[in-house]
Structure 1
């Protein structure tokens, strides 16, 4: 029972780590795309 509980905690930790890094990558990609689009629009206006 203790081993199953340990595996469950490890799985939860892994799940939180993976989802957290995925969210971080998505946020970075969104910020990069937003900055790139605004830069292109700014250059286009000039």
Structure 2
């Protein structure tokens, strides 16, 4: 659901750029961070 919501918002700015540029920047950062946490943080190596 979270991923779908991000997709709906569309690629506003790359994770490298400051998400705070947009009003929903705070939410985007939090959501993006959560997705990253869910994903493979450590490399397979």
Assess same fold via TM > 0.5: no
Q: Which has the higher contact order (CA 8 A, sep 6+)?
A: 2
Question: Quick check: which one's helix share is greater?
Answer: 1
| Greater Cα radius of gyration, structure 1 or 2 | 1
TM-score, normalising length: structure 1: 0.37
TM-score, normalising length: structure 2: 0.38
